[in-house]
Amino acid sequence: MSVEAYMAQCLGDPEHGYYATRDPFGIAGDFVTAPEVSQMFGEIVGAWLVYAWDLAGAPSPVRLVELGPGRGTLMADILRVSARRPDFSAAISVHLVETSPVLRAKQAATLAASGHRADWHDSFANVLDGPILLVANEFFDALPIRQFIRLEGRWRERLIGIDGEGRLAFGLGPGFLDQGPEAPEGAIREVSPAGEALTAEIGRRIAAEGGAALIVDYGYLHGGPSETLQAVRGHAFTDPLATPGEADLTAHVDFAALVASAAGVGAAVHGPISQRQFLVSLGLLERAGRLGAAADEAARAEIRGAVERLAGANHMGELFRVLAITSPGLDPPPFGPSI
């Protein structure tokens, strides 16, 4: 099977898939995301969404959408900070794109006290028509990819099969790609048809009906072919083929491909910029100072650690990137001119 099919089954199988059978987040899980590190992340994202709503002319009603909401922590923080704007709270309806029944239950519990009713959807396509404000944090990295390897001047697709000892192993498919970049012999190229199609769908929706989207993930903007497929289990890297359905499978996001997909359907695209630039420009340090002012030394140390993890050059700050998609003519901070 293709790497794309393997990832889709390992992560999304309704009975045995990784996300369908567990809560993978937090210290007791396999990995920790930015909303779980600190409330400051969700508060800044929420403030940005309110500002983008203002720039878009404060449409009402507007769909507040999150792709892959995890435990619901990010949405809870967004709703809490945006409650300072009653007109925004009155305009929104909450939509969560989530297929895992385990995580849907976690999200419902987390959002129970928010004062907002949430609707769940299996895909973004099922979200009602109308203007949207969308956020996707560490969602695109989990979308299936295809892999190709450069051999004798051509690109052949990398497949997964069974070796002579009955174990999963990488192999080669019979077909070739007619087009692709020049690269050294043996180079690996990754593409995400699902990621590019979804970005185009989001961009098309925003260009036609208004709104904004914020995509936060780890990845690259410029770079040659490389292999980034990885598996994480118990906060450690592991062999992607070793335990199907028991480890998180991800690949770095090709932001250049997402930019091209959204811009190609008429949306305005901003960035990507580093997570550090996004958070610091929008007040991360000031917010940390306010939280720390009324805290004891242990709590202040925890806040400092969260700031370093979210924005530090050796942590999420430079590895993660932030991309905004808006209606044409909008220029939300802290991004430069749209593409």
**All domains of the chain in start order, with CATH:** 3-144+192-231+249-284+317-326 (3.40.50.150)
Q: DSSP letter at 34?
A: H
Instruction: Kindly report, residue by residue over 49-76, the tens digit of the pLDDT.
Output: 999 999 999 999 999 999 999 999 999 9
pLDDT on residue 294: 85
Give dist(CA 332, CA 55) in Å, integer: 8
Separation in Å, CA 263 to CA 148, 253, 328: 25, 17, 10
Q: DSSP assignment of 304-332, as one string?
A: HHHHHHHH-TTTHHHHEEEEEEE-TT---
- Do 49 and 212 contact (CB within 8 A), yes or no? yes
Nearby residues of 114 by Cβ (< 8 Å), 6 or more positions away: 75, 76, 79, 80, 94
Q: DSSP assignment of 164-209, as one string?
A: TTS-EEEEEEEEEES------TT-EEEE-HHHHHHHHHHHHHHHHH
For tokens 């800044």, name the residue: 44
* pLDDT by position in tens, the chain (length 339): 999 999 999 998 888 888 877 777 766 666 789 999 999 999 999 999 999 999 999 999 999 999 999 999 999 999 999 999 999 999 999 999 999 999 999 999 999 999 999 999 999 999 999 999 999 999 999 999 999 999 988 899 999 999 888 899 999 988 777 777 888 999 999 999 999 999 999 999 999 999 999 999 999 987 766 899 999 988 799 999 999 999 999 999 999 999 999 999 999 999 999 999 999 999 999 999 999 998 899 999 999 999 999 999 999 999 999 999 999 999 999 997 776
Instruction: Kindly report, residue by residue over 23-45, the tens digit of the pLDDT.
Output: 777 666 667 899 999 999 999 99
Among the listed residues 120, 121, 53, the one whose alpha carbon sits nearest the alpha carbon of residue 92? 53
